[in-house]
Amino acid sequence: MAGKRLVHYDLVRIIAMFAVIVVHTSGTLYRATAPVSSFNWQVSNIYSTSGKFSICIFMMVSGMLFLNPKKSITIKAMYRKNILRIASGFIFWSLAYALFGLWVKVQMNGYSNAYMHSFFIDVVNGNYHMWFCYMIIGIYMIVPFLRLISGDENLMKYFLILSIIFVSTIPVLQQLPDAISEPITIVITQLRLNFVLGWVGIFMLGYYLSYCNISKKAEIISYILGILSLIWTIVLNGLLSIRNNQSYEGLYELTNINILLTAVAVFIYFRLHVSKVDFSERFQKLTLILSECTFGVYFVHVFIIIIFQQLALAQKLYNAVIAVPVLSAGVFIVSAIIIYYFRKIPFARDYLT
Condensed to tens digits (0 to 9), the pLDDT of residues 29-41 reads 888 788 999 999 9
CB neighbour class for 48 (10 Å; exposed up to 12, middle 13-18, buried from 19): buried
| Dist CA 345 CA 301 (whole Å) | 19
Domain count, the chain: 1
| Torsion angle of C-alpha atoms 275, 201, 234, 220, degrees rounded to 10 | 40
Report the half-sphere exposure of 17 (CA within 13 A, side-chain side): 27
Give me the average pLDDT of each 10-residue run along the chain (353 residues): 71 97 93 88 94 97 94 92 96 97 89 88 96 97 96 96 96 91 93 91 97 97 98 94 89 94 98 95 95 97 94 83 95 98 92 89
Q: How many CB atoms lie within 10 A of CB 284?
A: 18
266, 53 contact by CB (below 8 A): yes
Nearest to 97 by CA among 134, 124, 117: 124
Q: What is the pLDDT of residue 34?
A: 85
Q: What is the pLDDT of residue 335?
A: 98
Q: What is the pLDDT of residue 315?
A: 79
Query: What range defines the domain where residue 244 resides?
Result: 2-351
pTM across the whole model: 0.93
Q: What is the pLDDT of residue 198?
A: 92
